[in-house]
A and B are shown apart, each in its own frame.
Chain A
Amino acid sequence: MTPAEARQRDRFDRKSVAVAEKMLRRMREMTHKPAALEPFLETLSRIFVDREDARKPQDIPTVGTYCVMVPPEMIYAQGAMPVKLCGGSYTAFSIGDDISPRDACPLVKAVMGFEEIDAMPVYQNCSLMAVPVTCDCKKKLAGWLSARRSTAILHVPANRERDEDMERFVGELYAFSRQLEGITGQPLSYENLSAAFRLTANAQYQLSRFIDLRRKHPKIIRGTFAMAAMNAMSYTWAPEWTAQMAALNDELEAIARSGENAVRENQPRILLTGSPVVFPNMKIPLLIEEMGGLLAADETCMGERGLYDPPAVADRTVDGMLRALANRSTRPCTCPTFADNRRRIYRIRQLIKDYRIQGVIYHVLRGCLVYDYEYLSLEEEMGKLGIPIIRVETDYNEEDVEQLRIRVEAFLELIKYGGNQS
């Protein structure tokens, strides 16, 4: 390592730890934090502050995934652990900024920065990177990563209605399985895939309990906490996360019984949708809740969407289960990578109804063009429903926080005093 590289590494260490600590502190300082949330925050702290690798029960390889469309069941089944590596670090972003095009999205810049700085065990210890090609930046990231690391590139069909599209994605999953077998030596079998399905089904059950609780009691927990718990899932062994979520659900049920609320009655209920919110970039959720709003629900891939849909197995064979995974990963998905994504609007309408949403914040990470394209149609739809919507474009730095704060505050006041009774 040259002296310049050592200095850069040192700067990265100090700054990235400071940002992660700051975000964790802000979350811990928020009122009405359930005690059962702590394990999730500890996981994030272990990964981003203590720089540890993801904890696994045995010495098995980890597989880095760059999108929720990579089925974790396959990775568990073949004897590895999935970790979601979409980057949210401001410091890694600034390193990635030097080696990527100016207009690349910050998430991809952060990933490139992590890869370049070679300082995060959770990134460096991955035996395989799985990159579904969902947008231009991910496509180019896949090419860039494959020159450095063992990489599985998954072609996500842009259309998903026809059987042929699904057939092609099933083919991609088979190819991915062969690559997994290359690193673990374990082929896909009915037994191991069934066991992996059970792992994620348990996690999904706990998540559905959590979602159900939030639907029935929208004020029971702050959305920032929910997002932290979902982010922690990225680096946690599934059964461990399930147990943590079960404990959180138990505590929330007790809170619900006591009739206690995490926020005041008149706090505007906000839905966050758009580009993913990846720890430590918790800027937007924190701003919403620090400014007196309640992040009641989110429609982002790092939030509930990541584990929301269970696979529907019609044929109990390995092939049948893979098809169920291919279906689950694409058909109900509301990612704007798909050419026709009308279902995202239906999903948002459903969320608005379920969580009695009063306003929508549309999060666009600079350069995330696919989300930006869908803003106009959503704005039109929200206009019909009479739900105010605001587009917030941001980056991975703190420079725009005060401007965003003013906008978010004004938006919340508009809802609070504007007579929106949705």
Chain B
Amino acid sequence: MSEKLNAEVRTVLEQLWHEHCGFAEIAWFFREVDAFFGEEHLKNYHPELIVLGEDYPPELALSVCDHPFLLLGGSLETTHWSDALLPRDADPVSRSACGYLLNDHFSLIEKATVILTLSNDNRRKLAGLLRARGIDVITVDLPPVFDTASSQEAWAAEMLRVADEASERLGKKLSYRRLFRAAEEAARIRKVITSFRMLTLNSPGCMSPALRDLIAESVFYAQDRAEWLEHLSRLTGEIASRQQRYYPQPDDRPWVITVGSPVIFPNEKLPMLLDASGLYLADRIDSLSMMTQKPALKLRRFGKPESLVRQMAQIIPGSEVSGAWTVNRGLLNSMEDRLRILPVDGIVYHVLKGQIEYDFELPEVERMAAEYGVPVFRLETDYQQQDVEQLRIRMEAFAEMLRQRSGERMRIAQ
């Protein structure tokens, strides 16, 4: 049955394969992702540490384990595997993650400790469900607010506790040196991804947004991160050199950003739908894409892990797009940044069925978008494909409206 997961991944990769202007380096990323989801690899893959949830800082995970597996969900096939275990209204991300962990086809959890951030109800209950099946789970209990001194202190204490527990289980002591190296590596990865993204934004025709995001997020599936960094730098170089040699084709598609629930590979339904409707997905503001765009830490060569984690507590929670907070300020701030710096014509508010915490933010998002005169389109979906045609019709109408607005603005300007 795991060949079905592989087939799901292959289908998406095949769709994305031609969506770039012939950059040779891209093939490496395809091979890497395809190999990761390969049947044989999954059967023999037994990570020591699985991190479930984007709210746990990768710096801390990397400081206690060289190759942690960030389990994101995203697969329709694995959601089917967990159907009998979860209630009807559980969100597809949790369903998929549960399917990855509890199935009869491969055993990711054989040797693993799972770090699970309790950022929503699904995760909270999933922790109990996994523990009841004998899985070693360390939960991360996030405070519901992030902007008070006490909540930052609580955040730092919780992160340290989890890192300590994980290091004890994995036999790798959490030290400043390891944390410093991990933070440096995470910063390097973010820096390379940022320059890659900026270049693709300058020439939107060089590759499709879905492919761009897959390449940026393929770091989570890379066997060797140093090699991955090298390949992404090379690809960035290829794009830059192409831009120097050829004047980028103007792209007159309306620019949109997606805000809300995360788009997780291989579920590329939304980016593909936007593309098919003639919209250019300039950026995504969701928990996953923001993982690669977090503000940099001020790193000192010597210190204590506590001091670095306290610094993280001041920076990271506020910049996170997380359902864990009573008010998702990170989502609103990131959205405002994009509205200021990018020529955004519209916002697609993406809500995965069951992710109620994002739906609560919609009025605030609409209010802010109205201030910038940008229309918001709410799109609710799951990992199934049945609603694609309905969504396409709605999306095309939205795209048509954006084109008319932009034409109107041009006419007034002239």
Q: Which positions in A face B, CB cutoff 8 Å?
A: 99-104, 133, 135-137, 139-140, 142-144, 146-147, 153, 155, 157-159, 164-165, 168, 171, 175, 336-342, 367, 369-370, 372-377
C-beta contact mask, B111-150 vs A, less than 8 Å → 1, else 0? 0000000101110110111011000000101011100001
**CB distance B354 to A369 under 8 Å?**
yes
Question: Within the assembled complex, what's the spacing in Å between the Cα atoms of A171 and B121?
Answer: 23
Q: Does B48 contact A (CB under 8 A)?
A: no
B53 part of interface (Cβ distance < 8 Å): no
Shortest distance in angstroms between B270's beta carbon and chain A's nearest beta carbon? Answer: 19
Instruction: Flag if A171 contacts B150 (CB, 8 Å).
Output: yes
CA distance A337 to B125 in the complex (A): 8
**Are B326 and A137 in contact (CB-based, < 8 A)?**
no
Given A143-B326, A372-B87, A155:B143 Cβ within 8 A: yes
- Flag if A373 contacts B127 (CB, 8 Å): no
A104's partner among B90, B143, B356 (CB-CB below 8 A) is: B356
Which residue of chain A is the closest to B84 with respect to CB atoms? A376
Which residue of chain B has the shortest Cβ distance to A104 in the bound complex?
A: B356
9 A-B pairs besides A168-B154, A338-B124 with CB distance below 8 A are A103-B354, A103-B359, A133-B326, A139-B144, A165-B141, A338-B128, A340-B127, A373-B86, A376-B87
Question: Separation in Å of the B367 CB from the closest CB of chain A?
Answer: 12
List 12 A-B pairs, Cβ < 8 Å.
Answer: A99-B363, A101-B359, A102-B359, A133-B326, A139-B325, A144-B360, A155-B154, A369-B122, A369-B354, A373-B86, A373-B90, A373-B129
Nearest-CB distance from A36 to chain B (Å)? 40
Q: Are A339 and B124 in contact, CB atoms less than 8 angstroms apart?
A: yes
Does B362 count as interface, using CB distance less than 8 angstroms?
yes
CA distance A341 to B127 in the complex (A): 11
Chain A residues whose C-beta falls within 8 Å of the C-beta of B80 in the assembled complex: none
Complex: chain B residue closest to A157, CB-CB: B141
A341 near B145: Cβ-Cβ < 8 Å:
no
CB neighbours of B326 from chain A (8 A): 133, 139-140, 142-143, 146, 153
Please name all residues of chain B whose beta carbon is closer than 8 Å to the beta carbon of A168 when the two chains form the complex. 154
Decide if A373 touches B359 in the complex (CB within 8 Å).
Answer: no
- Total cross-chain contacts (CB, 8 A): 107
Residue B85, interface by CB 8 Å: yes
Given contacts A101-B356, A133-B326, A136-B357, contact A339 B139 (CB under 8 A): yes
CB–CB A369/B89 < 8 A: yes
Q: Contact: B362 with A373, CB < 8 Å?
A: no
Tell me whether B4 is interfacial, beta carbon within 8 Å.
no
B125 CB contacts on chain A under 8 angstroms: 336, 339, 369-370, 373-374
B43 at the binding interface (Cβ < 8 Å): no
Q: A137-B356, A372-B89 are in contact. Are A339 and B118 (CB under 8 A)?
A: yes
Residue-wise interface mask of B (72-104) relative to A, using a CB-CB cutoff of 8 A (1 in contact, 0 not): 000000000000011111100000000000000
Residue B5 at the chain A interface, CB threshold 8 Å: no
Contacts of B356 in A (CB 8 A): 101, 103-104, 136-137, 140, 367, 369
Also in contact, A139 and B357, with CB within 8 A (given A341-B128, A372-B87, A375-B87): yes
Give the distance in Å from the alpha carbon of A103 to the alpha carbon of B85 in the complex: 21
For B121, B128, B141, the residue with the greatest tally of chain A CB atoms inside 10 Å of its CB is B121
A371 nearest in chain B by CB position = B87
CB-nearest residue of chain A to B353: A103
Min CB distance, A95 to chain B, in Å?
A: 15
**A158-B127 contact, Cβ under 8 Å, with A143-B327, A373-B87, A375-B87:** yes
- Per-residue interface assignment for chain B, residues 311 to 346, with 1 indicating a CB less than 8 Å from any chain A CB and 0 otherwise: 000000000000101110000000000000000000
- Knowing A103-B359, A153-B326, A339-B124 are in contact, say whether A158-B118 is a contact too (CB < 8 A): yes
| B127 proximity list for chain A (CB < 8 A) | 158, 339-340
How many angstroms from the CA of A139 to the CA of B139 in the assembled complex?
19
Check B18 for interface membership: any CB of A closer than 8 A: no
Instruction: Tell me, yes or no, whether B161 is within 8 Å of chain A by CB.
Output: yes
A376 contact set on B, CB distance < 8 A: 85, 87
- Report yes or no: A158 in contact with B139, Cβ–Cβ below 8 A: yes
B144 touches A337 (CB 8 A): no
Given the known interface contacts A136-B357, A139-B357, A158-B127, the answer about A153 and B145 at a Cβ–Cβ threshold of 8 Å is yes
Residues on the A chain within 8 Å of B128, using CB: 338-341, 373
A404 to B356, CA, bound (A): 26
Which A residues lie within 8 Å of B150 (CB)? Answer: 171, 175
Closest B residue, CB atoms, query A366: B89
Bound complex: CA A143 to CA B358 (Å): 13
Cα(A146)–Cα(B363), bound, Å: 16
Q: How far is the CA of A307 from the CA of B327 in the complex (A)?
A: 31
**How far apart are the CA atoms of A246 and B351 in the complex, in Å?**
51
B139 near A159 with CB under 8 A, answer yes
Report whether A136 and B362 are in contact in the complex, using a CB–CB cutoff of 8 Å.
no
Which residues of A are found within 8 Å of B124, using beta-carbon distances?
Answer: 158, 337-339, 370
Contacts of B121 in A (CB 8 A): 135-136, 369-370, 373
Give the nearest-CB partner of B89 in chain A. A369
- By CB atoms of chain B within 10 A, which of A339, A340, A342, A370 has the most? A339
- On whether A159 and B87 interact (CB within 8 A), knowing A136-B357, A146-B326, A175-B150, the answer reads no
Chain A residues with CB under 8 A of B87: 369, 372-373, 375-376
Given A103-B359, A341-B128: A155 touches B89 (CB 8 Å cut-off)? no
Residues of A close to B145: CB separation below 8 A? 153
* Closest CB in chain B relative to A305 CB, distance in Å: 19
**What is the CB-to-nearest-CB distance from B138 to chain A, in angstroms, rounded to a whole number?**
10
Chain B min CB distance to A79 (Å) = 25
The 5 closest A-B pairs by CB, nearest first: A143-B326, A101-B359, A373-B125, A372-B87, A140-B360
Tell me, rounded to whole Å, the shortest Cβ–Cβ distance linking A383 to chain B.
15
Contacts of A375 in B (CB 8 A): 87
**Contact (Cβ within 8 A) B141 A104:** no
State how many angstroms separate the Cβ of A418 from the closest Cβ of chain B: 26
A142→B145 CA distance, assembly (Å): 10
- Closest residue of chain A to B85 (Cβ to Cβ) is A376
Q: In the complex, what residue of chain B is closest to A131 when comparing beta carbons? A: B326
Shortest CB–CB separation between residue A70 and chain B, in angstroms? 15
Q: Do B144 and A142 touch across chains, with their CB atoms under 8 A apart? A: yes
Contacts of A135 in B (CB 8 A): 121
| B contact residues around A374 at 8 Å (CB) | 125
> Which among B90, B151, B354, B360 has the greatest number of chain A C-beta atoms within 10 A?
B360
> B163 → chain A, closest Cβ, in Å?
14
Residues from chain A with Cβ under 8 Å of B88 in the complex:
372
A341 vs B131: C-alpha distance when bound (angstroms): 11
A-side contacts of B359, CB under 8 Å: 101-104
> Closest Cβ of chain A: how far from B267's Cβ, in Å?
20
Q: Which residues of B contact A337 (CB under 8 A)?
A: 124
Q: Find the B residue at minimum CB distance from A339.
A: B127
By beta carbon, the residue of chain B nearest A341 is B128
A155 to B141, CA, bound (A): 10
Judge whether A140 and B139 touch: CB under 8 Å: no
